[in-house]
Amino acid sequence: MIIHHPLLGPRDAAEFVYLGDASLIDRPDWQAEDAAQAFHAYGYLRDNPAGAHQELWYHEQGDRSWLVVTRDTTTHEITQVELARDVARVRGRDK
Amino acid sequence: MRYSALRILREGLTGNKGWKPVWREPEPKAEYDIVIVGGGGHGLATAYYLAKEFGHKNIAVLEKGWLGSGNIGRNTTIIRSNYMLPGNEPFYEMSLKLWEGLEQDFNYNAMVSQRSILNLYHSDAQRDAFVRRANAMMLAGADAEIADADQLRAELPFLDFDNARFPIKGGLFQRRGGTVRHDAVAWGYARGADARGVDIIQNCEVTGFDIENGHCTGMQTSRGAIRAKKVAVCVAGSSGRVMEKAGMRLPIESHVLQAFVTEGLKPVIPGVITFGAGHFYVSQSDKGGLVFGGDIDGYNSYAQRGNLPVVEDVAEGGMAIMPMIGRARLLRSWGGIMDMSMDGSPFIDKTHVDGLYFNGGWCYGGFKATPASGFCYAHLLARDEPHPVAAQMRLDRFMSGNLIDEKGVGNQPNLH
C-alpha cells in the first residue's frame, strides 16, 4: 500500500505503524459520571466496518507524524489522508 | 453409511457405485430450536456436539457460501495446546484430546497427524519463559518437553543453529501437537451432524436479526425468515459484520493473515517448527508442500489478501532458522480474515440480547480450537451456562478486568 502523506507525498505503508480506529482521537472525559463505561467502549469496542474506515497511522520511519487515513477495508484502497492534528482540531481538540 | 476398510474393498469390487452424498441439502424450515449462523468448522462442530452429546434434534446451520468456504479451508492446519494462562490452557488441552479421538468419534478420516510441534528458543531468557510455559502446560494435563540444542541437532540437523543474530539454543516440544486435514474436519462434522438430523443450509446469508424487547426470536435470511428459540452466531472473521446487524459493537478488529505453500518436496520437515525470535511457522503437508505463515498484516481488513511487506518478513523468518527453504519455490499464497480480539483470546458467551449467543474472536488460532469450541458452545446453548474450561471466555471481561492476554500486550489487536 502507498500512503499519500499530506506533507511528504507518496510513502510505502511499511514505513508506518498502525494503531487502529481513528475514534481513538476522541478520548472520553475522565470526570464524567459514566467514565468507566465510556473508557471501556473507547479502549475495547470497535465498529470494525467492512468498507470505509478512518484509522490512525504513525510515520515512525519518517517524520513521526500521526495521520488519519481513510481506507476501504474490503479493497485496501486509500481515499483520503489527513494529519491527525488537523482532524483532532476540527473535532474540537485544542492540541 | 459407515466407512470401513471392508466397505472400501466392497465398493472397489463393485465399481464404487454405492457412495452417496454425505449430507442432505434441505430447504430451511420455518422454525428451529437452535439456529447456528456460520457453517465453518466451529459452527458444524457445535451442531454435531449439540446433536450427539446434548440430545438436541431440531437444529439448523446456516452458511452464506458453500460449506467450509471460510477459514476452515484457509488455515495452516496446526493443532497444539501449548498455551499458558489458566483461562486458555485447559480449553486447548480439551481440544487436543478431542482431536485425538475425533476420527473414531465421527467415523471420518481427518488425517489427524500428531507429528509434534517445536517452538524454538534463542536466548537464556526465552528458555526460562518456555520452561515456565511447559510447566503450565503440564499442570493442565498437556505434554511438554524442553530439548536443548544438542538434542535438536540430532533430530533436526537442517536448522541454522549457529545463526549469528538468533542462534538456536533449544526448543519446547509438544509431541502430541501436529496437523489435521482441515477440509475433512468440516466434512466430517457436517456428515456427523446431518446424520443426526441437523439441517445444513448452504447459500443462506443472514441479513438481519429479529429482536423484540431485548429478545431474539429469529432472523431474516436470503432464503426467507427463520424463527428460532436460540440463535448462535459463529462466524469468526465476519463477526463485526454480522453482530452489527444485532446492534452490537465487539472487542474485535478484523485483520488479514497470509499463508503460503511451496511446490511439493520430498519429506524434509518432520513436524511443525516455529521461530522464536520472529514470527514464522512451518510444516510439511502430506502432499509435500511446505505450509507456512507468520504475522498478520496488521491493519483492519476484510479483503482475504495481504501485502508484500509481510511476505518478505515471513520469508526472512524462514531463512533465519532453515536456510534450505530458500531453494523451494512458492506455489501459492492466500489470505484469511481473523477476528483479532483485544486480548488475543476468544469469546464463547451469551450476549446482552436474550436468545442470541456469540462465538468468535479466535484471532489466528481458531483451527486447533475447533472441537472444544464446538463442544463448549454446544454446552452453553444446551444448558445456558458455560462449560468449565471456557468459563473465562466472556464478552464482558474487559469491563470486569479479567483479560486473558497470553502475550501481555494490552488492547492492541494487531500485536496479539
Whole-number Å distance between alpha carbons of B261 and B256: 17
Q: How far is B297 from chain A (nearest CA, A)?
A: 10
Instruction: Give the pLDDT score at B68.
Output: 87
Question: What is the rounded average pLDDT for all residues in chain B?
Answer: 96
Give CA B58 to chain center in angstroms.
26
Whole-number Å distance between alpha carbons of B230 and B215: 10
Report percent pLDDT > 90 for chain A. Answer: 95
Q: What secondary structure letter does DSSP report for B117?
A: E
Instruction: Give the pLDDT score at B373.
Output: 98
Instruction: Give the pLDDT score at A95.
Output: 66
Q: How far is A53 from chain B (nearest CA, A)?
A: 8
- Closest chain A residue to B308, measured at CA: A1
pLDDT tens digits for range B5-50: 999 999 999 999 999 999 999 999 999 999 999 999 999 999 999 9
- Closest chain B residue to A50, measured at CA: B302
The reply to whether A20 touches chain B by the CB within 8 Å rule is yes
Report residue B170: phi and psi, to 5°: 155, -165
Closest CA to B187 of B102, B112, B83, B108: B108
Contact A18, A55 (CB under 8 A): yes
Give the position of cell 507525498: A9
Instruction: Give the pLDDT score at B171.
Output: 98
Give CA B257 to chain center in angstroms.
13
Strand partners, B219: B209, B226
Give the position of cell 512451518: B282
If you count them, how many residues does chain B have? Answer: 416
- For B215, B243, B366, B373, the CA distances from B29, given in Å and listed in that order, are 21, 23, 30, 26
Q: Output the pTM of the full model.
A: 0.96
Whole-number Å distance between alpha carbons of B262 and A68: 38
Strands (E), B52-187: 59-62, 78-79, 117-121, 145-148, 170-174, 178-179
Q: How far is B412 from chain A (nearest CA, A)?
A: 8
**Whether A43 and B302 lie within 8 Å, measured CB to CB:** no
Strand partners, B336: B257
Count of H helices and E strands in chain B?
10, 18
Residues whose CB falls within 8 Å of the CB of residue A95, separated by 6 or more in sequence, listed in order: A85, A88
Burial of B313 (0-12, 13-18, 19+ CB in 10 A): middle
Which pLDDT band, with edges at 50, 70 and 90, does B381 fall under? very high
The reply to whether A53 touches chain B by the CB within 8 Å rule is yes
Which pLDDT band, with edges at 50, 70 and 90, does B2 fall under? confident
pLDDT tens digits for range B243-290: 999 999 999 999 999 999 999 999 999 999 999 999 999 999 999 999
Question: What is the rounded average pLDDT for all residues in chain A?
Answer: 96
**Whether B250 and A74 lie within 8 Å, measured CB to CB:** no
What residues of chain A lie within 8 A of the CB of B300, using their CB?
20-21, 48, 53, 55, 71, 73
Residues whose CB falls within 8 Å of the CB of residue A9, separated by 6 or more in sequence, listed in order: none
> Which residue of A44, A57, A72 to mutate against B (max B Cβ within 10 Å)?
A44
Rounded mean pLDDT, A35-55: 97
Whole-number Å distance between alpha carbons of B176 and B155: 17
> Which residue of B239, B301, B398 to mutate against A (max A Cβ within 10 Å)?
B301
